[in-house]
């Protein structure tokens, strides 16, 4: 075998090794923006919905963001009619900064959203926008569309916020999800999670948030009953390594609008 053949074989082996390395690399962790539109009445609700449906969501699609979630509190919630949630997955934090500039150059967006964008200061379309930025968990680095068949109006999407006493105790709860087996438990029991994320900017920190989805309320209740009775969970929750790592647990119950991608 001559030197040329040896070099050719070495090069082929090197390229194969690099190919395997690339294939084995895990996906980059996404970032998530969650906007909460605070509304005072039905007029504002209609204005924000028209903007999201006709201008914002289509513009994000044109910008390459396929899955935009738009949710409203379930009718029995006291905040029904007062909040609209918008979930936007982002490939990087840089995209969070460049997206508004991209929208400002989108003529279709500017035309379709004119009433909202040019609303007079005496008649704004919302009271205030509250924004939370998250980074996906290492054990679920990208979001997922739920596999549900019920009409969107009947579905229950549960977004939970787990606040921690301190940064270190909060990180212990994150570890419980990533390394302790909590996420695989949710997967095994069919909770149809959309995302799990660490809050990196928001009004309640330190905390993590995640969203699970169900066909309806009865389905939601049945899943959580199976979770509470599961032997693996009952073993995990008493593990000395993961004690006292949540100071406040808040649940938000929502359903997706008809124009929501998720």
**Half-sphere exposure for 226 (CA within 13 Å, toward CB):** 12
Outline where DSSP puts E strands in 74-180.
83-90, 128-136, 156-163
Q: What is the pLDDT of residue 13?
A: 47
User: Is position 21 within any domain?
Assistant: no
Host H or E run for residue 5: helix 3-24
User: Is position 35 within any domain?
Assistant: yes
User: Is position 7 within any domain?
Assistant: no
The total domain count for the chain is 1
User: Is position 22 within any domain?
Assistant: no
Report the alpha-carbon distance of residue 107 to residue 145 in Å, rounded.
Answer: 29
109 within 8 A of 55, measured Cβ to Cβ: yes
Q: Residues of the chain whose pLDDT is less than 50?
A: 6-7, 9-11, 13-15, 17-18, 20-22
Distances (CA, A) of 175 to 171, 172, 183, 198, 226: 6, 5, 10, 11, 23
User: Is position 4 within any domain?
Assistant: no
Distances (CA, A) of 140 to 8, 133, 136, 215: 39, 16, 7, 22
Chain position carrying tokens 């109006």: 153
User: Is position 23 within any domain?
Assistant: no
Rounded to two decimals, what is the model's pTM? Answer: 0.88
Q: Which of 150, 154, 156, 173 is nearest to 245 (CA)?
A: 173
User: Is position 191 within any domain?
Assistant: yes
Q: Which residues pair with 73 in a beta bridge?
A: 254
Q: What is the pLDDT of residue 129?
A: 98
Residues 6+ apart with CB under 8 A from 261: 57, 66, 67, 68, 69, 145
User: Is position 17 within any domain?
Assistant: no
Domain that holds residue 133: 31-256
Buried b (16+ CB within 10 A) or exposed e, 55-83: bbbbbbeeeebebbbbbbbbeeeeeebbb
CATH of the domain at 64: 3.30.70.100
């Amino acid at each position: 075998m001559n030197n040329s053949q040896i070099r050719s074989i070495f090069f082929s082996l090197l390229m194969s090794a690099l190919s395997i390395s690339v294939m084995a690399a895990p996906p980059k962790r996404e970032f998530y923006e969650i906007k909460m539109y605070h509304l005072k009445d039905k007029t504002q609700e209609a204005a924000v919905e028209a903007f999201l449906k006709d201008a914002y969501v289509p513009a994000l699609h044109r910008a390459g963001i396929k899955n935009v979630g738009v949710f409203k509190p379930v009718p029995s919630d006291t905040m029904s009619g007062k909040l609209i949630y918008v979930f936007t997955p982002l490939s990087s934090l840089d995209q969070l900064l460049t997206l508004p500039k991209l929208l400002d150059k989108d003529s279709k967006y500017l035309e379709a959203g004119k009433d909202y964008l040019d609303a007079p200061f005496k008649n704004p379309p919302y009271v205030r926008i509250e924004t939370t930025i998250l980074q996906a968990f290492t054990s679920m680095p990208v979001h997922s569309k739920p596999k549900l068949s019920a009409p969107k109006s009947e579905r229950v999407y549960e977004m939970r916020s787990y606040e921690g006493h301190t940064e270190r105790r909060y990180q212990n709860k994150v570890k419980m999800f990533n390394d302790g087996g909590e996420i695989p438990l949710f997967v095994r029991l069919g909770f149809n999670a959309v995302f799990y994320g660490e809050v990196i900017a928001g009004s309640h920190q330190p905390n993590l948030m995640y969203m699970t989805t169900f066909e309806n309320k009865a389905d939601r209740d049945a899943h959580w009953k199976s979770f509470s009775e599961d032997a693996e969970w009952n073993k995990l929750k008493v593990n000395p390594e993961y004690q006292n790592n949540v100071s406040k647990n808040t649940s938000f119950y929502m359903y997706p609008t008809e124009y929501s991608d998720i």
